[in-house]
Amino acid sequence: MQNFEAFKELLGSPKRIAIITHPKPDADALGSSLGLAGYLKKKSHTVQVITPTDYPKFLQWMDGNEGVINFEAEGNAAKAEKIFQDADVIFCLDFPSLSRIGEIGEIVRRSPAKKVLIDHHLEPELFADYTLSKTSAAATCQLIYELITDLGDVDKIDLSIAECLYAGIMTDTGSFRHSNTTKDVHLVCAALIDKGVEISKVNRLIYDTNTEERMRFLGFALKDKLVVLPEYRIAYFAISADELDKYHSQTGDTEGLVNYGLSIDNIVFSALFTEREGMIRISFRSVGNFSVNEFSRKYFNGGGHKNAAGGRSLVSLNDTIQKFLDVVPQYKQELFISDK
């Protein structure tokens, strides 16, 4: 952060602080928000975490979860808008531009509060008064840990905060399997373990709380919905709203599905298309040099990281798949030279 001393001074006296993260928060988004909130409360600030939408049950064990305001839930929009308007400081965590959070982005932009962006996605928008954007960081939770350390407050990180931060780093590195798993990642996690984090407990809370229906859905998706195109080294799933309904799919139930495509021998590009709330939500994953961030930006109104990105489409599921199949042939060469 360029103007770190001014930032430190800003937080030097009690402030009204709002924290916002991206829609459908994952463990890094929610963990960084609640971890930071826990720390700021210890520094005598008044803190409110606001999420644009709901989030999966397997994240709701995090300390501070019960105080989160879901903007989308009935009656909450006006309340949240007032909190943003009255805030002294708004932290924007784990997303790179205000357009990513839709209408809330404009509310944040209009607020007189000082804005702080802490993120690890590509191509950050320079809207904030204080920006900590590090695309080499594996997770926003890693940046929160480093920031608290740089503020000289590592002793303020208690077990609850440490669990939130560990969860985000664990999931954003794919359980320490992706290429973003650096020495620094392990050093931060070692420090969090020193704070008392039990690795097996956090793993269980995130990964081993499946409902039977989610497991049945996974079986259905792998058996009937997986399409493999070895000629392009691509695998994809296209799942309709009716199919999600049939398995009573909840927020978070499709999380991780896209990775199964990527685990297939010789596949370097995997996609998941799901029809939800009148649009098609897309997850892209790749290994090697192929940038799904660029691909998603170019064709599907999205973005993210080089090897993990998301996007959306406003035409039907079939038309979205057709568009995907129409554009991939031009990447055949690129996909074939990608390392696996």
Residues 128-147 within binding reach of Mn ion (CB under 5 A): 140
**Is residue 119 a contact residue for Mn ion (CB under 5 A)?**
no
Q: Which is nearer to ligand 5GP, 161 or 309 (by Cβ)?
A: 309
Shortest distance, CB of residue 231 to Mn ion, whole angstroms?
33
Length of the chain: 340
Using a CB cutoff of 8 Å and minimum separation of 24, what contacts does 330-334 make? 331/232, 331/269, 331/290, 331/295, 332/231, 332/232, 334/289, 334/290
DSSP strands (E only) in the chain? 16-21, 46-51, 69-70, 89-93, 114-119, 130-133, 226-229, 234-239, 269-276, 279-286, 303-304, 308-313
Helix H, strand E, coil C: the string for 103-161 is HHHHHHHHCCCEEEEEECCCCCCCCCCEEEECCCCCCHHHHHHHHHHHCCCHHHCCHHH
CB of 93 to Mn ion, least distance (A): 9
Is 253 a binder of Mn ion (CB under 5 A)?
no
In DSSP terms, which residues pair with 92 in a beta bridge?
A: 20, 117
Closer to ligand 5GP by Cβ: residue 36 or 157: 36
Q: Residues 90-109: x/- map of binding to Mn ion (CB under 5 A)?
A: ----x---------------
- Residue closer to ligand 5GP by CB (options 233, 281) is 281
Q: How far is the CB of 13 from Mn ion (least distance, A)?
A: 30
Shortest reach from residue 134's CB to Mn ion, in Å: 11
The one of Mn ion, ligand 5GP, none whose footprint includes residue 309, by CB under 5 to 8 A per kind, is ligand 5GP
User: Which of 22/115 has CB closer to ligand 5GP?
Assistant: 22
Burial of residue 250 (number of CB atoms within 10 Å: 0-12, 13-18, 19+): middle
Residue 119 contacts which entry, Mn ion, ligand 5GP, none (Cβ below 5-8 A, type-dependent): none
The one of ligand 5GP, Mn ion, none whose footprint includes residue 302, by CB under 5 to 8 A per kind, is ligand 5GP
Residues 179-198 that bind Mn ion (CB under 5 A): none
Q: Min. distance of Cβ 313 from ligand 5GP in angstroms? A: 10
Q: By C-beta, is 133 or 283 nearer to ligand 5GP?
A: 283
Contact predicate 28/56, CB 8 Å: no
Within positions 11 to 40, which residues make up the interface with Mn ion, using CB under 5 A? 28
Q: Which residues bind ligand 5GP (CB under 6 A)?
A: 22, 26, 100, 121, 283, 302-305, 308-312
- CA-to-CA dists, residue 203 to 63, 168, 197, 206, angstroms: 16, 11, 11, 5
Which position has the token pair 């303020």? 156
Nearest-approach distance from CB 180 to Mn ion, in angstroms? 10
Please state the closest distance from residue 97 (CB atom) to ligand 5GP, in A: 7
Instruction: Order the strands of the 89-93 sheet from edge to edge.
Output: 69-70, 46-51, 16-21, 89-93, 114-119, 130-133
Binding residues for Mn ion, per CB under 5 A? 28, 94, 140, 172
